[in-house]
Chains A and B, each alone.
Chain A
Amino acid sequence: MAAIEVNNLSRAYEYYRKEPGVLGSLKAFVHREKLYAHAVSDVSFSVEEGELVGFLGPNGAGKTTTLKMLSGILHPSGGEAKVLGFTPYKREKAYQKQFALVMGQKNQLVPDLPAMETFILNKEIYEISDNDFHKQSEELIELFDIRDILDIQVRKLSLGQRMKCELVAALLHQPKVLFLDEPTIGLDVVAQKNIRDFLKKYNEKKKITILITSHYMEDIKELCERVIIINKGKKIFDGKLKKLIEDYAPYKLIKVTFTGEGVEKYTVEAFGTIEEFSPYSCAIRVKREEAKQTAIRLLSSPLPVDDILIDEMKVDDVVRKIFSES
């Protein structure tokens, strides 16, 4: 059975338009025009137990809205979602004890208390036994190496430290499904990597199902084999990250280094579009199916080729291209 099962899920928001200025405000006071924003429309996918799936999309694509529906905060306006066999919006305790939601922008830690206090609160709220609590908290504290910040008020912690504590608080009850909404937002590269490494390890070890959104391609590249991409509320891709690149990047990059004096630009221009150039190395963009041929031509040409490498385009570029096209 799939851990997450989403069928034709839709969600509209009601909102009101207000014309600018005082007159607009007055008008709106008397009569407001009701409008609907279709944040998610007709999205279907399923995630198997233990999978770690990246959920991508540009700003306003509907990612947070989808995660909120999966955690039962929002009621879908169409379609249905099932997580671990539960219907999220019913908010059954049995379901709530088996999943967790971590949002980079919203905290569950009480800002004025040390993180340990929130852990203890969660122990009671989730009815975790003393034994389990002890084992799980020790393990997480160890993994994140945060023992020395546990008794400092949360609002005095750095963003990275806080996010680690957020994750610990969310994992104490050993959820089977974890929803992560931009868990690395605003963190420096080191902290980002820490969180990533942790998630990777934790996912492998506990076979926990994770759905993660992030605007940092590093996160996605390192963590997710599979990605789901939505834009303007509609799903536009669902599959292996590798396949995404094959499907959406019709080009490959041929990176060539030269020996000796190097080469002049016009001599390589004939092989394809030049992406980067210096006399000693260059990157040439060629059609995917012509990559091998071009490489052979390059090697057999009189150019002083030292080394040659056929590479995929960068994930970032591919994703940017998809976002801007759809």
Chain B
Amino acid sequence: MKKFLTIVRAFWQRSLTYRFTILSYRLGEIGETIVLILMWSAVYEGQGEVIKGFTLQEMMTYILVGNFFNVLIRNFLAEVVGRDIREGRLSMFLVRPMGYFSYILSQEVGRISVSTMMSVLSQAIVIAFFWRAFLWNFDLLYLLVLVLMLLLAFFTELLLSFLVGLVAFWIDEIDGIYSTIERVRRFFSGGYFPLSLLPAALAQISFFLPFSYSFFVPAQLYLKKIDLMTGLQGLAVQTAWILLLLLAIRLVWKRGLRRYEGVGI
């Protein structure tokens, strides 16, 4: 535990030295949220009151609250892991008496904490800016399930990113793959538009994928477009995914490492 905290603290400190980078990324994020809102406002002007069960106000809240959740949950671990493997820095971890998995996870938590806080702040400012359009939900039970869901989603995303990063064991040129996977993830998370705009079957499937829990499902839950029961089911799905991912990571890591070490040549 002390190890974990020391690593988190060190990388927390590191990120503080990149204040400007962090700030400039936040500007992009704010811009993106605002563009989405403006776009949907324009769409609603042409289309009328309700699109697939979403009023304009709900849609705006979806975007605002969804992005707010998303900045809490996301991470950039895949690139970090990929680079460590490709550039051989992994070697320096393999000789130290601490597992790479726990080290890099703690590092990422520390690394993103400052930018996460800044994002939360900047997204909160955007929400405040669209105050009138924003729908509030103060239902404590909903909020409780929501917090749990976000927590699980945070870990799911970490594990997912770690797994994606491990691709670097087999493939040298990883940047293209990462950005493609990133787009697919974003699409299935509902970050571009609510997944309920998709054909019902697809939307249904997305409930059983891990991606929708970092945007779509929690935003829907917030909007009370899904009930508590479905929310609880979601938590079960997430837990299952976390276990599955841990298992997958174990397997892939083992095989990847064998390749890295060159076992059996």
Interface residues of A (CB under 8 A from B): 11-14, 36, 68, 71-75, 77, 89, 91, 93, 96-97, 99-101, 103, 106-108, 110, 112-113, 117-118, 120-127, 153
Contact = CB atoms under 8 A, between A and B. Distances in A.
B176 interface: no
B201 interface: no
A75 B97 contact: no
A125 B95 contact: no
Contacts of A107: 92
B135 to A, nearest CB: 41
A103 B11 CA distance: 23
A118 B13 CA distance: 12
A81 to B, nearest CB: 13
Given A75-B258, A123-B6, 18 more contacts: A11-B265, A13-B262, A72-B94, A72-B95, A73-B95, A77-B264, A77-B265, A89-B261, A91-B94, A106-B89, A106-B92, A113-B14, A121-B6, A124-B6, A124-B7, A125-B96, A125-B98, A127-B97
B47 interface: no
B88 interface: yes
Contact of B3 (A89, A99, A106, A125): A125
Contacts of A72: 94-95
A72 to B, nearest CB: 7
Nearest to B107: A110
Contacts of A106: 88-89, 91-92
A187 B18 CA distance: 29
B17 interface: yes
B265 A120 contact: no
B21 to A, nearest CB: 11
A120 B91 contact: no
Interface string B1-30: 011001100110110011000000000000
B205 interface: no
Interface residues of B, number: 26
Contact of A110 (B14, B91, B95, B97): B14
Nearest to A118: B10
B262 to A, nearest CB: 6
B229 interface: no
A72 B93 CA distance: 11
23 contacts: A13-B262, A14-B262, A14-B265, A36-B265, A71-B95, A73-B95, A75-B261, A75-B262, A75-B264, A77-B262, A77-B264, A93-B97, A96-B97, A101-B92, A106-B91, A108-B92, A113-B10, A113-B14, A117-B14, A120-B6, A124-B3, A124-B6, A125-B103
B6 A75 contact: no
B263 interface: yes
Interface in B222-265: 258, 261-265
Contacts of B6: 120-121, 123-124
Contact of A113 (B13, B91, B103, B263): B13
Contacts of A100: 95
B98 to A, nearest CB: 5
A123 B261 CA distance: 27
A101 B10 contact: no
Contacts of B258: 75
Closest 4 CB pairs of A and B: A96-B97, A75-B261, A93-B97, A124-B6
Given A96-B97, A121-B7, A126-B96, A12 B14 contact: no
A57 B100 CA distance: 32
B16 to A, nearest CB: 10
B261 A74 contact: yes
B241 to A, nearest CB: 30
Nearest to A68: B91
B2 A124 contact: yes
B262 A110 contact: no
